[in-house]
Structure 1
Amino acid sequence: MQTAPAAVALQSVDVPPSRPRLRPWIRRPAFVAAGLGVLGTLFRLALVAADYPGTDSDEATVGLGALHVASGQHFPIFFYGQHYMGTIQSYLAAPLLVLGGPSTLLLRLPLILLYAGFLVAMYRLVAAVYSAWFAVLAVGVLSLGSDRVLKDQLIAHGGTAEVKPAAAVLLLLAYALAHARRWHRASGFFLWGLVTGLCLWEHLVIVPYVMAAAGVLVACRGRELVGRMGGYLCAGLVVGAAPLIAYNLRARPAQDSLSIFLRQNDGSPVSLSQRVAGGALTGVPLSTGMCGPGACRPWQQAWAPVCLALLVASAVLAVRALRRTPGDRARQLVRLALVLGALLSIVVYARSPAAGLTPMESGRYLCCLPVSVPAILWPLWRLGVGRHARTAQARLAMSGLVAVLVAMSAMTIAVVVAAVPGARAEARDQRELVETLREAGVRHLYASYWTCNRISFGSGETITCAVLDDELHPGLDRYLPYRAAVAADPRPAYVFVANSPPDIRLREVLSHRGMPDSPVRAVGRYRVYQPATRISP
């Protein structure tokens, strides 16, 4: 029987219009995470293009290593002037410097790629062991960044930028190997060993996460590690750590890289309360993006006990789930590994005198802590979206999480807006200084540590610089051939920041020797001296 036209019209009027649906890609967490990751990457690229964060001589030392690799002049194993931190960043930047010459921007481009890889690895890891939409939240949080977080990600200091993606990859590989079938298992174990070897060569701050990931492998694939798969892992480890092994095989007693690294903890005795305050109350909020530049306020330090409590809660949840569902063992073990990696890192850092003496400068030793951000946020997420999501406690937890994210975003914007003009002015002064020295025909000069290698790198080594301390005595020359080259010049120039201690001391020496009118030129915040003879204190 056919429906009457009037009835059809009536039905069409009574049926409410359907709600507009979200586009399919918006409903897919991977696409949302990718969008957040792209925004975070472009944000960092824009900062680097605007000369933020400001550079320094340590970054220039990495650049000098890259120049030497690019020219085939030298292939450094360690950061110049020490024997315990690798030079992966120099090797990554070398091809770019071949094409574009000495440039801080080109030196930092590989770091931005490492950051993008870190976000990809974290999304895959968190989606696998937690949930896809929780992985979106984790990527969103990691796309933010405070002053310390951005510096760790964007300044080529060596060690801090590459260990985060490496730690995420190690945990992801451990989880994959715990679930994988026979396909590609040998290459998976080899790759795990290779990444571990590279990390141990680059920086030992990643050791807590290596141990945590290794624990997952041993717990899930212990029998295989005793056999052939363990051989593949060891082979990858030897290949990745080959530069480190080659050095230590010929190192003199007490000059091996491990002994040198451990000696970094030598120094003035520091009380337990100072180390705990610097390592936990300052280090934790600093490395997770809660502190502003140069200081951690009391309200920001309050995040430390909250963060530690959330890590403990996350560990308890993982242990309980492990007991209830033994078949889901690998997921819960990786969750537990994220917690243990963070706690071990905090404990090891808090045991060092640097945590109590220089907490703001030494906070970079907790650079791996962002890898454990999912473990920190998981109890809040579970409370907010679980079966108790409508309770007052759940709403309070989620409101607190939103407030933290908003505060981090506002802090990032405020820091960048305030700091970018100063960073650009400093970079402009540095470029002007190099051009002035070139025009004056200067080829060799003395300067303070934080100026010296910047000049050598910025000039592409056409100008060679050696370091003087505040009393004009020889300072820390990370690349010793520069010291000999400058010492052979009978009329080196001297460059110091105006009214700095070495600048004041040099003017005193010039006046004492009857040369107060020695040629001097002001370039930005610097003074360039070209006396007729070499000056010694």
Structure 2
Amino acid sequence: MQNAPASLAGERVDLNPPPPRRRPWLRRPAIVATVLGALGVAFRLVLIVAGYPRADSDEATVGLGALHIATGRDFPIFFYGQHYMGTIESYLAAPLLAVGGPSTLLLRLPLIALYVGFLVAMYRLVAATYNAWFAVLVVGVLALGSDRVLKDQLIAHGGTMEVKPAAAVLLLLAYALATGWRRRRAAGFFLWGLVAGLILWEHLVVVPYVLVAAGVLVACAGRELAGRMGAWLLAGLVVGAGPLIGYNLHPAPGDDSLSIFLRQNDGPAVPLLQRLGGGTLMGVPLSSGMCGPGVCQPWQRAWAPVCLALLVASAVLAVRALRRSGGRPAEPAAHPERARQLVRLALALGALLSIVAYTRSPAAGLTPMESGRYLCCLPVSVPAILWPLWRLWEQGAGRVRVRVATGGAALALVVVAMAVTTTAVVTSAVADARADGRDQRHLVEALRAAGVRHLYAGYWTCNRVSFDTGESITCAVLDDTLRPGFDRYLPYRVAVAVDSRPAYVFVAGTVPDTRFRAYLRAQEGSDAPLRVVGRYRVYWPTTRVELP
């Protein structure tokens, strides 16, 4: 009886075996993703508390809008000084500024909340349409960030941070409505339209992702959209885009949103190769976090063709899988695999369409370093970029698996090196940002102590002073020729113009500073400086200076 059961062999059988040991927490993807995301959030919180990145007048303009909303003085539809780009960031920051007063830190806290929402939406989207451990990898990559990426996420410029979670949410809602959202479906369609409307009001840079998310919805729930659910979606779209629609009912000639959108590509003729070079070889590495502050080395630009090839490969994989998944489903949730592949295809196409749209603009060829922010939606497509590599590793076998594993280790080392380099670069930039913030505080203190109420300054100084002082000091812009410059909020220009003795503030050694000093010498025989404050030189002549 060699093959007898253990009980017949006289051995004791435990009829109540202990439950299987739980998996270690490190093997649970949601927990690992949460830890990685928390590290990314903590890193960004530390940076904004330390004063990084440097504030500027565009961010202060968002802050001024928030102050006006908080006090009920104004409810701006667009970023001051232009008829496009919404003011969601101003509305999000308004309650904080109403309690704490003008503060760059408070202005940036809503961006942290948007970043958290982005990570959550991306994890849920990738875990549902790829797999959970791949979602962990995506969250880990998004927790990193180069100087350019962090600036897009942490400076309240409007239109760069909020578009990313919105695009991810639109794709996630489309997938949910296609596969499993059975109860209160009308609310789901209304919510999709609401998010789409809000983000289209905020910035048109997100249009490619709205289109591909809409494509997923039409492909999976087209019959419903032709009926009552389409009406609910349209209602949400109207509510979300309400400010944009209201403005376009009676716009000034040429200032309607369509005309503004068509003018985005106006400008000097730029050769195609120059636009392709700036839009891809510069724009893609910048938006992917490969480049350093203000520079993109040739080896870093090499990432652009690799990234494009990975996006195309990801799209091809999704199309092949779609062909295998069968035809059009008869009803929602009938074909979840088809919906998954459509979302994967949408992520790849969204990035490719964004790159194509950007390279059509003259800015891609003329100012690629400054204009790279127009590819700020590209992080949403990180899953599509990484998926071919993940799939290659997952399907490798034997020697191929060894080679792929070696390549994966090399890639991991590159990512770690990037993280270390990013930390070093950002850490060094923190000192510069803090010095700039210190100079700004000292400038405001000096102006207040002297009793200055109105002043002239350069564009990148003006609105910072107005915001930091809560508009107790207002500023009008002078350009490099000492003529009236670009005042985003025109009431400031009027207020400064009627002051009989405004002050003048310039960064020492700049063109307007040199010209103003020379002009004062010619008119009064002296520089008449109030004081030198850090990098600023402050002038307060005894009478108003009539500039040329």
For the pair 1:492 / 2:502, whether they are aligned, the reply is: yes
2: distance between equivalents of 1:21 and 1:449?
Answer: 64
1: distance between equivalents of 2:113 and 2:339?
Answer: 29
Q: How far is 1:22 from its partner?
A: 7.9
Q: How far is 1:262 from its partner?
A: 2.8
Which residue in the other structure is 1:260 paired with?
260
Q: How far is 1:319 from its partner?
A: 1.2
Secondary structure in 2 aligned to 1:466?
strand
2: distance between equivalents of 1:311 and 1:519?
Answer: 57
1: distance between equivalents of 2:406 and 2:350?
Answer: 28
2: distance between equivalents of 1:505 and 1:386?
Answer: 67
Which residue in the other structure is 1:512 paired with?
522
Secondary structure in 1 aligned to 2:471?
coil
Map residues 421-440 of structure 1 onto 2, 5 A cutoff. 421-440=431-450
Which residue in the other structure is 1:14 paired with?
none
Which residue in the other structure is 1:61 paired with?
61
Greater shift, 315-324 or 169-178, is seen at 315-324
Match of 2:360 among 351, 358, 363: 351
For the pair 1:93 / 2:102, whether they are aligned, the reply is: no
Q: How far is 1:270 from its partner?
A: 0.7
For the pair 1:475 / 2:495, whether they are aligned, the reply is: no
Which residue in the other structure is 2:475 paired with?
465
Change (3 A) 1:531 1:261: farther
1: distance between equivalents of 2:22 and 2:316?
Answer: 37
For the pair 1:374 / 2:413, whether they are aligned, the reply is: no
Q: How far is 1:515 from its partner?
A: 3.6
2: distance between equivalents of 1:148 and 1:388?
Answer: 38
Alignment check: 8 A CA contact 1:383 1:397 kept: no
Q: Deviations over 1:22-58 (max 9, x none)?
A: 8643221001000100000000000000000101000
1: distance between equivalents of 2:252 and 2:454?
Answer: 33
2: distance between equivalents of 1:181 and 1:266?
Answer: 43
Which residue in the other structure is 1:521 paired with?
531
- Paired letter, 2:352: L
Secondary structure in 2 aligned to 1:89?
helix
Secondary structure in 1 aligned to 2:264?
helix
Which residue in the other structure is 1:198 paired with?
198
> Could you tell me the TM-score, scaled by structure 1's length?
0.95
2: distance between equivalents of 1:368 and 1:239?
Answer: 23
Secondary structure in 2 aligned to 1:314?
helix
Q: How far is 1:252 from its partner?
A: 2.3
Which residue in the other structure is 1:418 paired with?
428
Q: Deviations over 1:195-246 (max 9, x none)?
A: 0000110000000000000000111111111100000000000000000000
2: distance between equivalents of 1:204 and 1:507?
Answer: 43
Alignment check: 8 A CA contact 2:529 2:537 kept: no
Map residues 121-520 of structure 1 onto 2, 5 A cutoff. 121-326=121-326, 327=335, 328-388=337-397, 391=400, 392-520=402-530
2: distance between equivalents of 1:258 and 1:143?
Answer: 36
Q: Please, which runs of 5 or more residues in structure 1 have no aligned partner?
A: 9-19
Change (3 A) 1:313 1:107: same
2: distance between equivalents of 1:393 and 1:310?
Answer: 19
Alignment check: 8 A CA contact 2:190 2:235 kept: yes
User: What RMSD, in angstroms, separates the aligned Cα atoms of the two structures?
Assistant: 1.6
Q: How far is 1:420 from its partner?
A: 0.6
Q: Please, which runs of 5 or more residues in structure 2 have no aligned partner?
A: 1-5, 12-19, 327-334
Q: How far is 1:357 from its partner?
A: 0.5
2: distance between equivalents of 1:85 and 1:262?
Answer: 14
Secondary structure in 1 aligned to 2:404?
helix
Change (3 A) 1:378 1:389: farther
Q: How far is 1:263 from its partner?
A: 1.7
Which residue in the other structure is 1:16 paired with?
none
2: distance between equivalents of 1:515 and 1:438?
Answer: 27
1: distance between equivalents of 2:84 and 2:145?
Answer: 28
Q: How far is 1:404 from its partner?
A: 3.3
Q: How far is 1:21 from its partner?
A: 7.5
Which residue in the other structure is 1:41 paired with?
41
Alignment check: 8 A CA contact 1:36 1:139 kept: yes
Q: Deviations over 1:141-198 (max 9, x none)?
A: 0000001100000000000010000000000000000012531210000000000000
Q: How far is 1:253 from its partner?
A: 2.6
Alignment check: 8 A CA contact 1:444 1:486 kept: yes
- Paired letter, 2:311: L
Greater shift, 174-183 or 161-170, is seen at 174-183
> Could you tell me the TM-score, scaled by structure 2's length?
0.93
Alignment check: 8 A CA contact 2:274 2:365 kept: yes
Q: How far is 1:405 from its partner?
A: 1.3
1: distance between equivalents of 2:498 and 2:56?
Answer: 26
Change (3 A) 1:125 1:467: same
Alignment check: 8 A CA contact 1:284 1:304 kept: yes
Alignment check: 8 A CA contact 1:383 1:389 kept: no
- Paired letter, 1:289: G
Greater shift, 206-215 or 251-260, is seen at 251-260
Change (3 A) 1:22 1:292: farther
2: distance between equivalents of 1:176 and 1:197?
Answer: 19
Alignment check: 8 A CA contact 1:125 1:172 kept: yes
Greater shift, 117-126 or 387-396, is seen at 387-396
Alignment check: 8 A CA contact 2:517 2:527 kept: no
1: distance between equivalents of 2:510 and 2:269?
Answer: 30
Which residue in the other structure is 2:52 paired with?
52
Alignment check: 8 A CA contact 1:60 1:453 kept: yes
Secondary structure in 1 aligned to 2:249?
helix
Map residues 72-87 of structure 1 onto 2, 5 A cutoff. 72-87=72-87
Secondary structure in 2 aligned to 1:250?
coil
Map residues 11-26 of structure 1 onto 2, 5 A cutoff. 24-26=24-26
Q: How far is 1:257 from its partner?
A: 2.1
- Paired letter, 1:86: G
Q: What is the total number of aligned residue pairs between the two structures? A: 521
2: distance between equivalents of 1:191 and 1:387?
Answer: 41
Q: How far is 1:413 from its partner?
A: 0.8
Moved over 4 A (4+): 20-23
Alignment check: 8 A CA contact 1:292 1:411 kept: no
Q: How far is 1:517 from its partner?
A: 4.2
Secondary structure in 1 aligned to 2:524?
coil
Q: How far is 1:396 from its partner?
A: 4.3
Alignment check: 8 A CA contact 1:62 1:90 kept: yes
1: distance between equivalents of 2:363 and 2:324?
Answer: 42
